[in-house]
Amino acid sequence: MMTRSIKLDVQHYHWASNFKYPNQISMKHFIPIIIFLLAGNLLKAQQYPLFTNYVLNDFGFNPAIAGSSDYLDLRMTYRTQWTGLEEAPRTQIISAQTALDSLPIGIGGYMYNDVAGQIKRTGFSGAFCYGFDLGVGKLGIGVSGGFYSFRLDNNFFVEENTDPTLANAMEGKWTPDLSVGAYFQMKNGAFIGFSVPQILNQKVNFNDDTQISTVNNLVPHYYAMAGYRMKLNEKLTLEPSVLAKVTEAAPIQFDVAVRALLNSKYWVGASFRTQDAATAMLGYEISRRMSFAYAFDFTVSGLREASKGSHEITLSLRLGGPKDSDGDGILDPDDKCPNEPGSADNDGCPNKEKEESPSDRDKDGILDNDDKCPDTPGPEENKGCPYGDRDKDGIRDEVDNCPDVKGLAEDKGCPKDDRDGDGILDSADKCPDLLGDIYNQGCPKDDSDGDGIKDIDDKCPKTRGAPERKGCPMVSDEEREILDLVLRNLYYNTDSDVIRMEAIPYLDKLAELMVKRVDWKIRMKGHTDDTASDAYNIDLSKRRVEGVLFYLMNRGVHRSQLVTEYYGEDKPAASNSNEYSRQLNRRVEMEFVWE
């Protein structure tokens, strides 16, 4: 950017001051002018950035907006005011705000850069808001704090910069700021807010101790905003709003605006700012994550002859928040058909097509919607199904393997995945290959385990077995050997419930067997020698048998297959007269259990 000498034409500042000065002035005259421009005009009348799209940039002047959306709201605005005038104001602001999950708290922050003439103001601020659900709407109370720097713009240059005030102005001054605000968003579409930026009333002073003090304050600004979003029909929504700003040493300023939102995709609007400008606005939803807005101010003040108007551009990004499951551009909370792509004019649901004429596939005179057997002719009194079809599946009882359960023709009238055709799906049938009834869990009546032996003659009625064992399972020599090996190795050291390493391989084989034989059970009994008290030995035997229980369960054996008992020293396998016999008593015994 081109720099400028101290011998500049002060009429470049005529937009900010009603005073006129000679074209060429000396340093001693110029310093008071700089202070006057900084303190007298900018620090009172135009201290805080101005936005035409104030509804889109409301977080910049009201911290209570933080958390008003259930997504991360990022906004970037660029404004150039009074184009055509050299050194007219230019403003850039970047803001972000969101609500915390599951908490009535909103957080955010913003940074901005504002240049007016040769005066540059930059700053950053963080915001915190607490929300209250009042039933009819949400009330937010917010506060923000940050720092702002005032300095001469970077393109300002002087030939002689020995004046302390000018040097300080070029270096800049940082000052803290605090803003408070309230924002009430009602469920019926109305909103109202009030805020006070620059509440600290901070002083800005570029003089040193040897000069006459030229101190001015960053005065508070008072903002009040209200609006109402009215849905006129499925395609059109109107949003009138008003913003009032009160500032010391300046008249009350009003912005009155109205926006028309079309199909939730486009919007156009107009506004009027008292004693300043009339505005045309438009916006476009590029996607559900991004939107664009533009505003043009037609100057109506005394600057209209020199100004070509003001431009303002805002880009919004929405990250996170509600999903759009069907990808139709309508967020799930607003989509009445979140899993079916639809249109905005139908609340996110597919447009209803003209209903086709009712059909009658089986030509029995009963429309398919009312026909229980739409592919098999039948009389009306039998709801469109033929006589002799008790389950109304369209398959006559004499050829229906499951006449009381609705099934499929390809499965001979039985439900799919029902091998025995008893109307009970194999996944719920304890006897999937034997015809049974639902009251006996798919097994034949009076044969609970489905082994073909009636319960009255079955020694193990709940465990499938063999006739030669009177209904109890056949146990092979190999299977018995596995159990015997465990019994011969499941002994313990004195006062220990830790399984010995030599028993581990045999327990693993037992676990593998029990996983295969899911209807088998094992009874495990814990024992000790006579060392220690009865109560202690009962507890020790319990710990021993539970250790085996958890070991087998960790290898896939179901808990229902394991029965535990513990006896302490009450049932010794040998006398406790010596260490050898005591070792035989420190054990866990096992046996198969057939029910």
**What's the pLDDT tens digit per position in 272-282?**
998 888 999 99
Q: Is the pLDDT of residue 156 over 60?
A: no
Question: Percent of the chain scored above 90 by pLDDT?
Answer: 28
Q: H/E element holding 457? A: none
Comparison of pLDDT for 247 and 541, the residue scoring more:
541
Query: How far is residue 392's CA from residue 383's CA, in Å, rounded to a whole number?
Result: 9
Query: What are 384's two structure tokens?
Result: 């469109």
pLDDT of amino acid 95:
92
DSSP type of residue 484 = H
Query: What are 492's two structure tokens?
Result: 């313990």
pLDDT of amino acid 187:
85
Residue 550: pLDDT band by 50, 70, 90 thresholds? very high
- Among the residue ranges 93-107, 200-214, 409-423, the one predicted with the least confidence is 200-214
For residue 290, which of 76, 489, 83 has the smallest C-alpha distance? 76
Query: How far is residue 559's CA from residue 518's CA, in Å, rounded to a whole number?
Result: 11
Mean pLDDT over 62-76 rounds to 88
Tell me whether residue 28 is exposed, middle or buried, using C-beta atoms within 10 angstroms of its C-beta: 0 to 12, 13 to 18, 19 or more. exposed
The phi, psi pair for 475, rounded to 5°, reads -110, 120
Residue 6: pLDDT band by 50, 70, 90 thresholds? very low
pLDDT of amino acid 48:
65
For residue 264, which of 223, 235, 303 has the smallest C-alpha distance? 235
Long-range contacts of 149-152 (CB under 8 A, 24+ apart): 149/120, 149/121, 149/122, 149/123, 149/173, 149/174, 149/175, 150/38, 150/119, 150/120, 150/121, 150/175, 150/204, 151/119, 151/120, 152/34, 152/118, 152/119, 152/120
Question: Percent of the chain scored above 70 by pLDDT?
Answer: 80
Residue 370: pLDDT band by 50, 70, 90 thresholds? confident
Mean pLDDT over 420-444 rounds to 72
Comparison of pLDDT for 79 and 483, the residue scoring more:
79
Stretch(es) of the chain classified as CATH 3.30.1330.60: 477-593
Three-state SS for 282?
strand
Residue that is written with structure tokens 């097994």 in the block: 443
Residues across the chain: 595
Mean pLDDT over 388-393 rounds to 73
Count the alpha carbons within 13 Å of 50 in the hemisphere toward its beta carbon.
27
Mean pLDDT over 500-527 rounds to 89
Tell me which CATH homologous superfamily contains domain 477-593: OmpA-like domain (3.30.1330.60)
pLDDT of amino acid 50:
76
Query: What are 592's two structure tokens?
Result: 């198969």
Count the alpha carbons within 13 Å of 558 in the hemisphere toward its beta carbon.
9
* Angle at CA of residue 529, ends 523 and 532, nearest 5°: 120
Q: Is the pLDDT of residue 19 over 70?
A: no
Comparison of pLDDT for 40 and 52, the residue scoring more:
52
Tell how strand 310-319 and strand 290-299 pair up: antiparallel
Query: How far is residue 327's CA from residue 339's CA, in Å, rounded to a whole number?
Result: 9
Query: What are 502's two structure tokens?
Result: 């030599």
pLDDT of amino acid 43:
39
For residue 528, which of 561, 496, 482 has the smallest C-alpha distance? 496
Residue 359: pLDDT band by 50, 70, 90 thresholds? confident
- Among the residue ranges 176-180, 461-465, 569-573, the one predicted with the least confidence is 461-465
Three-state SS for 314?
strand
pLDDT of amino acid 540:
94
Comparison of pLDDT for 37 and 548, the residue scoring more:
548
Residue 33: pLDDT band by 50, 70, 90 thresholds? very low
* Angle at CA of residue 520, ends 515 and 525, nearest 5°: 100
Residue 587: pLDDT band by 50, 70, 90 thresholds? very high
Query: How far is residue 209's CA from residue 167's CA, in Å, rounded to a whole number?
Result: 14
- Among the residue ranges 39-53, 86-100, 181-195, 323-337, the one predicted with the least confidence is 39-53
Query: How far is residue 328's CA from residue 370's CA, in Å, rounded to a whole number?
Result: 34
pLDDT of amino acid 20:
34
pLDDT of amino acid 168:
58
Q: Please provide the average confidence, as pLDDT, over all residues in the chain.
A: 78
Residue 234: pLDDT band by 50, 70, 90 thresholds? confident
